[in-house]
């Protein structure tokens, strides 16, 4: 094997290692979101505390992957498609870290609700549905990232409309509850803040899908209309 082939082989190995780390980080964030929602719905303070404590694991993975990418850039000096991949990974881990922060926020709302000792199972249905959609989006997004599947990435972006609609409906519902019974204002606000966190996770999932399209097509697709995005993917 000549020197050029050896360098290329090492680069591929290093990129595979980074990609594996990104997907592991994504899996951890998905677990954090699921645990935070479970804590919220079951008013489980102990589980919420675990979510908050585990956020440091997400942050640690973010730093580790950043360091791996920086080392690849310095040592391998990637160009063109290879450089796009490294940049997409760096941006993806940044969004995953922010999703972890949102999961922690939901856990804090769960603690607040648990301390109030309120019984409101009928009011959790909407946020449970919204959370299921968001988790599905992130799961599909991570799969699309692993396979560089731009069609699936576009499908996830389109699916975010349902999450936005869920958020609008939940907000209206909680406003109605607060108007009917001002004593429930604090609980409703906790749910609204949790729903807002889920909506932001959906948005950041869409960001990652945009990085996938950027990686494959070489075009920055942030802030462009969905029709133009669909035409680019076709």
Q: For the chain, what is the domain count?
A: 1
CATH number, residue 90: 1.20.58.220
Residue 56's Cβ-side half-sphere holds a number of Cα atoms within 13 Å equal to: 3
Hey, what long-range contacts does 54-61 have (CB within 8 A, 24 or more apart)?
Answer: 54/28, 55/100, 55/101, 55/103, 55/104, 57/28, 58/25, 58/28, 58/29, 58/32, 58/96, 58/97, 58/100, 59/97, 59/100, 61/21, 61/24, 61/25, 61/28, 61/93
Confidence check: pLDDT of 6 > 50: no
- Please give the average per-residue pLDDT across 1-10, as a whole number: 57
Confidence of residue 209 (pLDDT cuts 50, 70, 90): very high
Q: What is the pLDDT of residues 45-62, one digit of tens each?
A: 999 999 999 999 999 999
- Please give the average per-residue pLDDT across 27-44, as a whole number: 95
Question: In which domain, by residue range, is 203 found?
Answer: 3-233
d(CA 62, CA 69): 11
Q: How far is CA 67 from CA 18, 98, 162, 186, in A?
A: 10, 18, 36, 42
- Exposed (0-12), middle (13-18) or buried (19+): which is 155, by Cβ within 10 Å? middle
Q: What is the pLDDT of residues 15-30, one digit of tens each?
A: 999 999 999 999 999 9
Quote the pLDDT of residue 116.
76
d(CA 125, CA 127): 6
DSSP state of 124: S
Confidence check: pLDDT of 90 > 90: yes
- Please give the average per-residue pLDDT across 187-198, as a whole number: 93
Confidence check: pLDDT of 129 > 80: yes
Higher pLDDT, 118 or 158: 158
Confidence check: pLDDT of 3 > 50: no
Quote the pLDDT of residue 122.
64
Quote the pLDDT of residue 144.
97
**Mean pLDDT lowest for which of 74-83, 90-99, 118-127, 204-213?**
118-127
């Amino acid at each position: 094997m000549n020197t050029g082939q050896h360098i290329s082989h090492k680069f591929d190995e290093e990129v595979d290692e980074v990609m594996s780390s990104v997907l592991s980080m994504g899996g951890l964030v998905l677990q954090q979101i699921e645990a935070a929602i479970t804590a919220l719905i079951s008013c489980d303070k102990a589980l919420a505390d675990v979510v908050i404590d585990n956020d440091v694991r997400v942050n640690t993975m973010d730093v580790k992957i950043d360091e791996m990418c920086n080392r690849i850039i310095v040592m391998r000096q990637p160009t063109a498609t290879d450089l796009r991949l490294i940049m997409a990974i760096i941006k993806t881990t940044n969004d995953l870290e922010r999703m972890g922060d949102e999961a922690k926020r939901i856990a804090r709302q769960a603690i607040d609700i648990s301390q109030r000792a309120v019984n409101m199972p009928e009011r959790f249905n909407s946020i449970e549905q919204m959370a299921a959609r968001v988790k599905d989006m992130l799961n599909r997004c991570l799969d699309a990232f692993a396979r560089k599947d731009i069609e699936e990435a576009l499908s996830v972006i389109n699916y975010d409309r349902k999450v936005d609609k869920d958020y609008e409906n939940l907000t209206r519902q909680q406003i109605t509850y607060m108007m009917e019974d001002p004593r429930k204002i604090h609980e409703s606000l906790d749910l609204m803040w949790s729903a807002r966190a889920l909506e932001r996770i959906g948005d950041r999932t869409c960001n990652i899908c945009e990085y996938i399209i950027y990686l494959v097509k070489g075009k920055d697709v942030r802030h462009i209309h969905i029709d133009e995005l669909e035409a680019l993917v076709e």
